[in-house]
Amino acid sequence: MDDDTVPSQPFYLRGLLQAPFTEITNAIISKPARRVYINSVLLALTSFSLCCISVVAYWIFYYNYVPQIGLERPVHLQFGDGHPYGTTILGMELISGQPYDVSVALYLPRTPSNLAAGNFMLDLALFSAADTNTNTSTEARLIARSRRPAILTYASPIVDTARRVSKMPLYVLGWQREAEGVKVSMMEQLEFESKKRAMPRMLRLEIQSEGRIQVYNAVVRFDARFSGLRWIMYNWRALSFLTFSSTFWVMSMICTSSVWIALAIHVEPTSAKNPNMRPKSEDEDEDEDGDPGNDISVKEEEGSDEEDNSSKLSLRRQRRMSSEAEQIKQEEDIEESTMIQPLAGEGQPEVETNTYPASTSSSSQATARGTLASGFRRAEVIIPPPHTLPPVAARYADIHTNTTALLPINFSLPRKTKIFIEVRIRTSATSIQYQCALTMHILVVNDDGPPSNQSSPYVHSLVHTLESAGHVVSVVLPHRQRSWIGKAHLVGATVKPTYFRPGTLHKDDGTIHHLPRGADGENGSEEPGGNEWILIDSTPASCVQIGLFHYFKDRGPIDLVISGPNYGRNSTAVFALSSGTIGGALEAAVCGYKAIALSYAFSSRDHDPIVIAEASRHSVRLIGYLYKNWEEDVDFYSINVPLELGVSDSKILYTNVLDNRWTSGSCFEVIDAAESGEGPDLQEQRLRQAGEVDAVIGKGKRTGTGTGTGTGTTTSGHRHMHFKWAPKFSDVYKSVELSPPGNDGWAVKEGITSVTRLKANFMHSPGVPGEIQLPVKKPIFYALVECQDSYVQPLVTQALRARLDGTAYELVFSLCELPDPSSPLLQYRVYEQCDFEHVLSHPTTSVVNAYVIRKALIRKHYLSNTVANWVAKHPASILKTHFKPAVDFELDYAEFLDEALVEAYELQESFEANEEKGEADKEWWILKPGMSDRGQGIRLFNSESSLREIFEEWEEDQSDSEGGGDSEDGDNGANTHEQLDDDVNCEDKNGIITSQLRHFIAQPYIHPPLLLPSESNRKFHVRTYVLAVGSLQVYVYREMLALFAEKPYLPPWHSSGASVDDLTRHLTNTCLQTSSDGSTKRNAVRSFWALDDTALPSLSSSSSSTIGNSGSSTTWKENVYEQICAVTGEIFEAAARGMLVHFQTLPNAFEVFGVDFLVDSSGKAWLLELNAFPDFRQTGDELKGNVVGKLFEAVMEVAVKPFFGIEEDIERARARGEQLGLRLVRDLNMGVKR
Claim to verify: residue 470 and residue 566 sit in the same structural domain? yes
> In this predicted model, what pLDDT tens digit does every residue of 401-423 receive, in sequence order?
333 333 333 333 333 333 333 33
997: left (phi over 0), alpha (psi -120 to 50) or beta: alpha
Claim to verify: residue 1046 and residue 1106 sit in the same structural domain? yes
- Count of domains forming the chain: 6
Q: Residue 1216: phi, psi to the nearest 5? A: -65, -35
pLDDT given at position 623: 94
> In this predicted model, what pLDDT tens digit does every residue of 445-473 receive, in sequence order?
999 899 998 888 999 999 999 998 889 99
pLDDT given at position 7: 47
> In this predicted model, what pLDDT tens digit does every residue of 225-279 receive, in sequence order?
888 888 888 888 888 889 988 898 899 889 988 888 888 787 654 444 444 444 4
pLDDT given at position 367: 37
> Is there a domain that residue 243 lies in?
no
Size of the chain in residues: 1234
pLDDT given at position 522: 58
Query: Checking DSSP bridges between strand 636-643 and strand 595-602, what pairing results, if any?
Result: parallel
Torsion angle of the four alpha carbons 135, 141, 146, 150, in this order, in degrees rounded to the nearest 10: -30
pLDDT given at position 683: 61
pLDDT given at position 793: 92
The residue that leads in pLDDT, 713 or 1070, is 1070
- Cis bond leading into 548, ω under 30°? no
Q: With bands split at pLDDT 50, 70 and 90, how would you rate the model's confidence at 963?
A: very low
pLDDT given at position 1027: 97
CATH of residue 119's domain is: 2.60.120
729: left (phi over 0), alpha (psi -120 to 50) or beta: alpha
CA dist 545 to 1008, 1212, 1234, Å? 57, 49, 54
The residue that leads in pLDDT, 335 or 612, is 612
Torsion angle of the four alpha carbons 956, 961, 962, 963, in this order, in degrees rounded to the nearest 10: -120
Using DSSP, state whether 512 is helix, strand or coil: strand
> Is there a domain that residue 30 lies in?
yes
> In this predicted model, what pLDDT tens digit does every residue of 1160-1171 receive, in sequence order?
999 999 999 999
Our measurement of the distance from residue 318's CA atom to the centroid of its chain's CA atoms, rounded to an integer in Å, reads: 62
Let me know if 336 is exposed, middle or buried by CB neighbors in 10 A (0-12, 13-18, 19+). Answer: middle
pLDDT given at position 420: 37
d(CA 659, CA 208): 78
Alpha helical stretches, state H, 108-166: 112-117, 157-166
Provide the b/e sequence for 776-814 (b: ≥16 CB within 10 Å). Answer: eeebbbbbbbbbebebbbbbbbbbbbebbeebbbbbbbe
d(CA 476, CA 690): 28
pLDDT given at position 606: 81
Query: Checking DSSP bridges between strand 441-445 and strand 472-478, what pairing results, if any?
Result: parallel
Claim to verify: residue 874 and residue 807 sit in the same structural domain? no
pLDDT given at position 983: 39
Q: Is the pLDDT of residue 959 over 50?
A: no
Residues 1129 and 995 sit within 8 Å (Cβ to Cβ): no
Q: What is the mean pLDDT of residues 217-227?
A: 91
pLDDT given at position 967: 40
> In this predicted model, what pLDDT tens digit does every residue of 810-860 receive, in sequence order?
899 999 889 999 999 999 999 999 999 999 999 999 999 999 999 999 998
d(CA 8, CA 10): 6
pLDDT given at position 524: 52
> In this predicted model, what pLDDT tens digit does every residue of 1172-1183 receive, in sequence order?
999 898 888 888
1072: domain range? 855-955+971-1227
d(CA 92, CA 235): 23
pLDDT given at position 1146: 93
Q: What is the mean pLDDT of residues 388-397?
A: 40
pLDDT given at position 1059: 52
pLDDT given at position 1028: 97
Contacts of residue 1134, Cβ cutoff 8 Å, sequence gap at least 6: 866, 867, 869, 870, 877, 879
Share of the chain above pLDDT 70, in %: 71
Least trusted range by pLDDT, from 136-140, 247-251, 497-501: 136-140
Claim to verify: residue 902 and residue 819 sit in the same structural domain? no
pLDDT given at position 1093: 81
Torsion angle of the four alpha carbons 913, 915, 921, 926, in this order, in degrees rounded to the nearest 10: 80
Q: With bands split at pLDDT 50, 70 and 90, how would you rate the model's confidence at 988?
A: very low
Share of the chain above pLDDT 90, in %: 30
CA-based nearest residue to 597, from 827, 471, 838, 764: 764
d(CA 54, CA 373): 71
Q: What is the mean pLDDT of residues 1134-1150?
A: 93
Cross-sheet strand order for the sheet of 120-127 = 85-89, 202-208, 120-127, 142-150
Q: With bands split at pLDDT 50, 70 and 90, how would you rate the model's confidence at 491?
A: confident
Claim to verify: residue 930 and residue 1033 sit in the same structural domain? yes
Q: What is the mean pLDDT of residues 763-784?
A: 79
In eight-state DSSP terms, residue 720 is P
Our measurement of the distance from residue 794's CA atom to the centroid of its chain's CA atoms, rounded to an integer in Å, reads: 20
Claim to verify: residue 60 and residue 93 sit in the same structural domain? no
Claim to verify: residue 79 and residue 158 sit in the same structural domain? yes
Our measurement of the distance from residue 234's CA atom to the centroid of its chain's CA atoms, rounded to an integer in Å, reads: 42
Q: What is the mean pLDDT of residues 916-927?
A: 84
Q: Is the pLDDT of residue 497 over 90?
A: yes
Q: With bands split at pLDDT 50, 70 and 90, how would you rate the model's confidence at 1126?
A: very high
d(CA 1191, CA 89): 41
Contacts of residue 486, Cβ cutoff 8 Å, sequence gap at least 6: 577, 578, 579, 580, 582, 583
d(CA 769, CA 425): 8
d(CA 928, CA 979): 12
Q: Which amino acid is at 158?
A: I
The residue that leads in pLDDT, 1048 or 890, is 1048
Q: With bands split at pLDDT 50, 70 and 90, how would you rate the model's confidence at 691?
A: low
Residues 745 and 575 sit within 8 Å (Cβ to Cβ): no
In eight-state DSSP terms, residue 213 is P
d(CA 139, CA 964): 10
Q: With bands split at pLDDT 50, 70 and 90, how would you rate the model's confidence at 661?
A: confident
Alpha helical stretches, state H, 1083-1209: 1097-1100, 1116-1138, 1190-1195
Q: Is the pLDDT of residue 327 over 60?
A: no
Q: Is the pLDDT of residue 672 over 80?
A: no
Claim to verify: residue 539 and residue 497 sit in the same structural domain? yes
Claim to verify: residue 789 and residue 896 sit in the same structural domain? no
**Average pLDDT of the chain?**
76
Q: What secondary structure does DSSP assign to 987-1010, as a single string? A: -S-----HHHH-EEEEEE---SBP
Claim to verify: residue 382 and residue 458 sit in the same structural domain? no
Claim to verify: residue 836 and residue 867 sit in the same structural domain? no
> Is there a domain that residue 679 lies in?
no
In eight-state DSSP terms, residue 786 is E
> Is there a domain that residue 966 lies in?
no
1146: left (phi over 0), alpha (psi -120 to 50) or beta: beta
The residue that leads in pLDDT, 325 or 1065, is 1065
* CA dihedral sign, ordered 987, 988, 990, 995: negative
CA-based nearest residue to 1048, from 1039, 1037, 1040, 1059: 1059
> Is there a domain that residue 681 lies in?
no
Claim to verify: residue 994 and residue 1011 sit in the same structural domain? yes
d(CA 1105, CA 1165): 10
Secondary structure, 3-state, 737-764: HHCCCCEHHHHHHCCCEEEEEECCCCCE
d(CA 1000, CA 29): 99
pLDDT given at position 681: 60
Q: With bands split at pLDDT 50, 70 and 90, how would you rate the model's confidence at 1114?
A: low
Alpha helical stretches, state H, 886-943: 897-900, 905-914
> Is there a domain that residue 1049 lies in?
yes
> Is there a domain that residue 743 lies in?
no
The H or E element that residue 321 is part of is helix 293-337
pLDDT given at position 949: 81
- Hey, which residues does 758 pair with through a beta bridge? 636, 764
> Is there a domain that residue 230 lies in?
no
Angle at 299 between CA 298 and CA 303, to 5 degrees: 120
The residue that leads in pLDDT, 620 or 116, is 620
Residues 1096 and 1116 sit within 8 Å (Cβ to Cβ): no
> In this predicted model, what pLDDT tens digit does every residue of 1186-1212 receive, in sequence order?
999 999 999 999 999 999 999 888 889
Boundary of a domain, candidates 848, 869, 893: 848
d(CA 516, CA 875): 57
> In this predicted model, what pLDDT tens digit does every residue of 13-31 receive, in sequence order?
776 777 777 778 877 888 8
